[in-house]
Each structure stands twice: as structure tokens, then as C-alpha cells.
Amino acid sequence: MRMRFKRYVYLAMFTMLLQLIVFKYFYPFPNFMQDSYNYLRSAYTNADVNMWPVGYAKLIRFVGIFTHWDTALVFVQFCFYHICALYFFFTVLDLTAVGKWPRRLIFAFLFLNPAILYLSNYVTSDVYFIGISLVWISQLFRLVYQPSNWLLAAHLVVLLLAYTVRYHALIYPIISITVIVFCDFTVRVKIASGLIMAGMIGGFMLYTTYQSEKVTGTRQFSAFSGWQMANNAVHAYAHMPERPPLQVPPEFAAIHHQVNAYIDSLQHIPMSQRPDAPLMAFYLWDATSPLQPSPGAVNIADNADHLRQMAAVAPLYNDYGKYLISQYPLPYFRYFLLPNFFQYAYPPVENLGLYNDGRDTVWPIAQTWFHYASNKIYTVSNKRELILFDYYPALMVFIILLFISGWIAYYRVSGPSFADIKFRSALRIGTFYWIVHYGFSVLASPVVLRYQLFNMILGVVFGVLLWGVVLKKRIFNPSIYNNKINVDHSRR
């Protein structure tokens, strides 16, 4: 068993280096999008608060202690993911007996996935957060069947780390607390872990709120959430066929007038060709958005003065978004929630299908941080292979169907009555996570492909394992298979 694990480690490291060497020949420079420049500015100034969480910026700054070579950052991201994915992979193999081909399929999706390779070349928190999430959920699996105070303490640290990197981690404490309640810990340990978790996250939120007030002059945990609320509400409002006159409260009068004037200016453009047609963050980040405090601002993500203005109006925009939703709940459901519900299953490719947003230059902060001689970047690749990611939304649909059909088949053959107890527990945790994440994602913000890669990994793993259990039940004599499971349990 130990030799087999070593082979997987060596194979994962070999394929990692091979992929990276070949890839960097064709893409000598990292990939950048608007988020990238905000992270780089946060790293450059060692900021403790910004529009995005600063956990990833701290990683950039840590790498910068040793080198500002851009490929080093890409390597660290790719290597970090592989280490986390190996921990997850070995955790999965420990859940139940996994056949040779299912094992190979899971390994390939984890370590030979083009989306992970390309996303690792991005200066963005996505791959870093995916790696943290793989460790987080692996620890949850292990806490159920292998509870220990050391593992629990490590889990709390990983949970806090995830919280500093991506706001999607807001749901992680809910899932962690729910799982810990059912773990084999004493009541005292469960209460203590809950209090420590609340204290760590509460302390982080208070510190971030304090820093936000000091830097932007506005007391709030996240300016991003207020803007996201306004973006979602205005998107739905802008897609209404008719907008009856609305007498808004005085504090919303100015912004509501700007929003209506902008929407009226688009009426001559077919809906499919409008800049706000896709369900994205247009009203949040586009320079022409009527929500922008300074119309026509450039390089918004790295414009400190503009970001301070955005932070200042964030509480107002949060209230304005909630007000629009309260006035038009059905249009909000029809034009935002319902499309986003389906977008979760068929997410747009967004930045994964582009290199450097289609440009051959980078913003000044990237040139400064990575010590580029000029702002020009290039690729050896003609980028035709990026069309591969156009098939990923369909792959997401297939993975969801694989998981759901496997889940149904698993219960039809009475899987819980004979499947390994470790697998049963992990399946419940994975299913619970997916349900909570689905609801949170649909309500919170427009879903895009790069946000779904962690869920795709879970879907493939459990889809393959579920069908493996089902096929074993169908192919083997049930009594023989049950006896094998009982023997495995007695050995443990």
C-alpha cells in the first residue's frame, strides 16, 4: 500500500513538472485579469484590506520575499494545488475499495486537468482556494472516522485560511460545525471548537472592519458585498420589459435616476447585443456602469482613489439593491435567480477562455511587481487550444448527471446497507456541501466556470465512487460482497 502511494506521489510530481515546462514554453508570461491587479497592488502595499480578501495577496507577497520571477509564483500555485490534491486523493482512496480504472480516472481529473493548469497560470486566488478547499473537505471526511484533537485544530486553521482568501468560504463554518457536531468528540470539545471557530472568524471580521474603516473611511466588513447586491438587483431591473415609475426614498433618488438613464440609453440595442446581456458582474466592474462613482474611470481594480469611492457608497448600494429586490421580487427571481440557478449547472467560460483579456499589455502594477522591462507580454501559442474550455460547461452538466444518477442508483440497490461506513459519511458531507453551495452561489453572485472547478472535482469523485459501488453490487453476488465488506469492517 505504501509503495502504491509513493508511485502516485512520484507520478503526480512528474506530470506536474512536465506540464509546467511544456506550458511555460508556450505561455512565458502569467495570465492577468482585472482581479489580478488588485491582488498585486495589495501585495505591493502589504494591505490588510481591499475589495477582494487579501489572503491570496499575502501569498504573492510571501513568494516576493524570495523572488519576483512570475514563473516562480505560477510554480508555487501549481505545486500547492498538487500537494493539496494528493492529500485529497489519498483520503478518497481510504474511504472505500476503489478499483484500478476508477482510481486512474480520479487521478487524471485531479492532476491532468487542463483547467487547473491554465488557472494556475493566472494571477488570481482560484487555484489557491481550490487547494485549500480540497484540504478542508478531506479533513472533514477524516474527522468523522478518525477524530483527533490535532486534526480538529488543523481544520480550524485551514478554515480561517479559506476565509481570508475567498468570500465563498462564508458557508464553510456552517458545514464544518454541522459535521463536527456528529463527530466522536466529547461535548466539551465540540463546544470549545465552535467557540474557537466563532472567535477566530469573528476576530478576523472585526480586524478587517477596523482596517476597512481606517483605509476607506467606511466601517464595513466588505465593500464588495454591497456592490454585489446592487449589481444583482440592477441586472434584474434592467432586464424588465417595462419599468413602471417608482417613487424611491430620497437617499436612492440620485443613483436610481442614473440607473434609469443608462438603461434608457440601451433601449435601441437588441437585448442579446447589450453589454449587460450576460449574467455577469457588468454593473459592478465596467467603467460605463451607472453605479460607478466616477464614470469612465480606468484600471478600476488598481485605482486606489476610485476604490475608496466605491467603498464609501457600498453601504448605500447594499440598501439600494435590497430596495429594488423588495419592490420587484418576481422580476428578480426571473431575471437573476432563475438564470443563475441554471448557470450553476452550465457556467459561462468567462476568463478561462481568454488570455490576458485579449490584450498584449499589462497594467503598471504588474510590470512593477514582476520587474518586466516593458508592459508588453506575448505567447508562443496561437491560443486555439483555449476552445477546449468551451466544452467545460457541458462537462459540468455531465458531471452533475453522473453524480445524481449514481446517487439514485446507489439508493436503489440499498447502498447504505453494505457500503463502507467511511464512504457513507463522506457522501453525506459531500452532498450536504453541494446543496449548501448551490443555494449560496445562486443567491450571492453570478456563477462562472472557474468557481465551479472544486465542485466538478467532488462530482467526478463521488459520481465514479457511487457507480463503482452500484456496479459491484450488480456484478458480484450480493452475499459475497456483503461478506467482503463485513471482513473489511472487522479488520478496521
Residue 2 is predicted with a pLDDT of 67
Same domain, 114 and 228: no
Per the domain annotation, does 218 fall within a domain?
no
Give 314-365 pLDDT, tens digit per residue: 999 999 999 999 999 999 999 999 999 999 999 999 989 999 999 999 999 9
Q: Are residues 28 and 161 in the same domain?
A: yes
Burial of 9 (0-12, 13-18, 19+ CB in 10 A): middle
Q: How many CB atoms lie within 10 A of CB 17?
A: 14
Q: Are 182 and 41 found together in one domain?
A: yes
Q: Which amino acid is at 58?
A: K
On whether both 381 and 317 belong to a single domain, the answer is no
242 and 115 inside one domain: no
Contact 40, 123 (CB under 8 A): yes
Which one-letter amino acid corresponds to residue 214? K
Asked, for residue 470, whether it belongs to a domain, the answer is: yes
Tell whether 309 and 413 lie within a shared domain: no
Class of residue 243 by CB neighbours under 10 A (exposed 0-12, middle 13-18, buried 19+): middle
Contacts of 43 (CB under 8 A, 6+ apart): 57, 58, 60, 61, 64, 369
Single residue among 353, 385, 412 that ends a domain in this structure: 353
Going by C-alpha positions, the residue among 70, 63, 73, 36 that lies closest to residue 51 is 36
Domain match, 320 and 380 both? no
Judge if 22 and 140 occupy the same domain.
yes
Residue 301 lies in a domain: yes
Q: How far apart are CA 106 and CA 83, in angstroms?
A: 15
Amino acid 195: pLDDT? 94
Per-residue model confidence (pLDDT) at position 487: 45
Same domain, yes or no: 93 and 194? yes
Q: Give the residue from 481, 467, 482 showing the smallest Cα distance to 102.
A: 467
Q: Is residue 14 part of a domain?
A: yes
Count of structural domains within the chain: 2
Question: pLDDT tens digits, residue range 176-225?
Answer: 999 999 998 999 999 999 999 999 989 988 998 888 888 777 788 888 88
Q: Are 8 and 89 in contact (CB under 8 A)?
A: yes
Classify residue 213: in a domain, yes or no: no
Q: Which residue has the cell 486606489?
A: 304
Could you count the other beta carbons within 10 Å of the beta carbon of residue 467? 18
- The cell numbers describing 475, all together, are 456484478
Residue 2 makes CB contacts below 8 A (sequence gap 6+) with: none
163 shares its domain with 295: no
Length of the chain: 492
Residue numbers of the domain that contains 287: 223-353
CB atoms within 10 A of CB 97: 15
- Residue 208: inside a domain, yes or no? no
pTM of the predicted structure, to 2 decimals: 0.93
End-of-domain residue from the set 353, 387, 422? 353
| pLDDT for 483 | 52
pLDDT at position 252, please?
95
List pLDDT tens digits, range 90-105: 999 999 888 889 999 9
Do 265 and 188 share a structural domain? no
Is the confidence at residue 14, as pLDDT, over 80? yes
The residue among 353, 376, 405 that closes a domain is: 353
DSSP string for 32-53: --HHHHHHHHHHHHT-S--SS-
One domain, residues 369 and 278:
no
Question: Which position has the grid cell 478518497?
Answer: 92
